[in-house]
Amino acid sequence: MSRLMFYIIVGFLLVAGIATSVHRHVQFEIPWLPGEQRQVWEIEAGITFNAQGGPVQVDLALPSHQAGYRVLTENTASSGFGLAYQADELGRTAQWTIREAAGSQTLYYSVQMLVSQDARSPIQTPPEMSPATPWESPYDTAASQLIEQAWARSANNATFARELIQDVNGERQGENARLLLSQENPAALVVRLLNQAGVSAREVSGLLLEDGRRRQTLSSWIQVFDETGEEWSIFHPLTGAQGKPDNLLLWETGGRAVLEVQGGTNSRVTFSMMTHDQPASAAVRNHYSEDTLLNFSIHSLPLEEQALFQTILLIPIGALMVVFLRVLVGVKTSGTFMPVLIALAFIQTTLPTGLIGFLLIVAVGLVIRNYLSYLNLLLVARVSAVIITVIAIISIFTVLAYRMGLSAGLTITFFPMIILAWTIERMSILWEEEGPKQVLIQGGGSLITAILAYLAMNNPWVRHITFNFLGVQLILMALILLLGNYTGYRLLELRRFKPITDDEKPS
């Protein structure tokens, strides 16, 4: 019964760990591998206008998550202006306000967009049809003729839109179209005709992303709601080509004005952009995301605490390594988790320096401890003396290394001194009681365990996984619980008990 409970707990931990990890991978697109580079676009919108000396309100439409792109971070630069982000079903806007402003004003908004294949636009609902404004005579006949011709040549909303666009712009442009174009610009005309025919359509503003371009403006695109696919498809307003170019970033999709300025004149917005690749982990860190419980992540902490956690979250990996080596292999170590702490020090010092430093400190410490044993001290006093000795050794080596120009020697201070003191104490007792051979076996075992733990903990993939997927901790927990239940032979026991199996052969 208790066995069953145990496996249920282990199973639960495994499922929960894997599920949260997969959730983070899917939802936040954190890659499984650390090396993946993600393309990030930095786009800056500059708004310029002449303030008229009174209160000013500036509304700028902002881009949202959409197919192919994901908003990472956004910033504004606008001294003296009040700023508020607003979001409704039509999209997001930034609103700058000021009580009094005069003369030429410049406001900046910059956004980092992550290029991502998996990004999806938010839920797409068919828009409510706005009542079509009726045409005056003689435009109404021209409009209805255009609609009738295109309707006859099309099969569905998409083809209808394409035909209409070609009738308005292309070589087929007829008198009707030319007449209507005197009233509206091409994109607006097409949208108006589509709406008149009962097809949901809207004019949207998009930005064609090209690396290093400055002073770009938004271009108009036509979105038509596809009644079968239940999603918006996009059309080039001049050619009628269907489909969104990869480098098109939709800036405003609500059918509203991109920029509205009250209390100012001559307003315009221009865009400059550049792209760069950055490691996925950095992209993840900048991830713009809402605060939900499932989004619980260390990345919401300040950078300094994050760096701390990066190390803390590695300790279970070291612990797993120790459990593995002791339970499955049977390595003897001096002090159960001392190797993990040594491995943590190795991470700071790098392996060769750490190894040399560790061996130097322990060797010198053992010699001095050997003298201390003649003094016949009480245990606590003796270990305290060893601690001071270790500190002295570390100081001397650091100064020596510095004098000799070995800057690597300075990292020796990362060793946990009290742990080292206990290691020296334990090894010294072992030496007296069991002889130097046991010291070599246990010391070597500790060192091998520390090196393996270091290699595991310093692996970039392991660091990436433990830091970005907290669910992995649950998986580690489950693995350790399972290992704690292992009743089979240890690897070294296959050697230890070998002589027994030998006798079997002759008989």
Partner 1 sequence: MSWFNNWTWPTRLRDKGIIGMNRRNIRYIGRYNKRRLYPLVDDKLKTKLLAQQYGITTPELIGTVTTQFGVKHIGAMLTGHAGFVIKPAKGSGGKGILVIEKVEDNAFIKPSGVKLTLTDVERHVSNILSGLYSLGGSPDVAVIETLINFDESLMDYTYEGVPDIRVIVFKGYPVMAMMRLSTAASDGKANLHQGAVGVGLNIATGAALRAVQFDRPCFSHPDTGHDLASLVVPQWETLLNLAAGCYEMTGLGYLGTDMVLDRQHGPMLLELNARPGLAIQMTNGEGLRRRLDLIERQPDGVPAKERVAFAQHHFARQSELVESPDTSSASA
Which positions lie near partner 1, rule CB under 8 A? Answer: 327, 330, 376, 378-379, 433-434, 485-490, 493-501, 503-504
Pick between residue 92 and residue 490 the one whose CB is nearest to partner 1.
490
Q: What's the closest the beta carbon of residue 483 comes to partner 1, in angstroms?
A: 9
Q: How far is the CB of 496 from partner 1 (least distance, A)?
A: 7
Given the complex with partner 1, which of 117 and 487 has the nearer CB atom? 487
Distance CA 100, CA 430 (A): 81
Q: Which is nearer to partner 1, 27 or 485 (CB)?
A: 485
The CA-CA-CA angle for residues 353, 354, 356, to 5°, reads: 65
Shortest gap between Cβ of 393 and partner 1 (angstroms)?
A: 23
As given in the structure block, the two tokens for residue 256 are 């509203």
Nearer to partner 1, 152 or 500 (CB): 500
Rounded distance, CA 349 to CA 327, Å?
29
Cis previous bond, 127, omega within 30:
no
Going by C-alpha positions, the residue among 353, 419, 352, 356 that lies closest to residue 390 is 419
Minimum distance from residue 110 beta carbon to partner 1 (Å):
59
Distances (CA, A) of 435 to 265, 309, 358, 452: 91, 41, 21, 26
**Nearest distance, CB of residue 1 and partner 1, angstroms:** 14
Name which of 292, 440, 294 is nearest 362 in CA terms: 440
Segment (H or E) for 195: helix 186-196
Rounded distance, CA 32 to CA 135, Å? 57
Kindly state the smallest distance separating residue 376's Cβ from partner 1, in Å: 7
3-state helix, strand, coil in the chain (%, to 5): 50, 20, 30
**Residue 3 or 215 having the CB closest to partner 1:** 3
Shorter beta-carbon distance to partner 1: residue 353 or 428 = 428
**Nearest distance from residue 476's CB to partner 1, in Å?**
20
Count of other CB atoms within 10 angstroms of residue 381: 11
Beta carbon of residue 16, minimum distance to partner 1 (angstroms, whole number):
25
The CA radius of gyration of the chain, in Å to the nearest whole number, is 35
Which of 255, 335 has the CB closer to partner 1?
Answer: 335
**Smaller CB distance to partner 1: residue 40 or 325?**
325
Longest dimension (CA), the chain: 116
Per the structure block, which two tokens stand in for 418? 């009290």
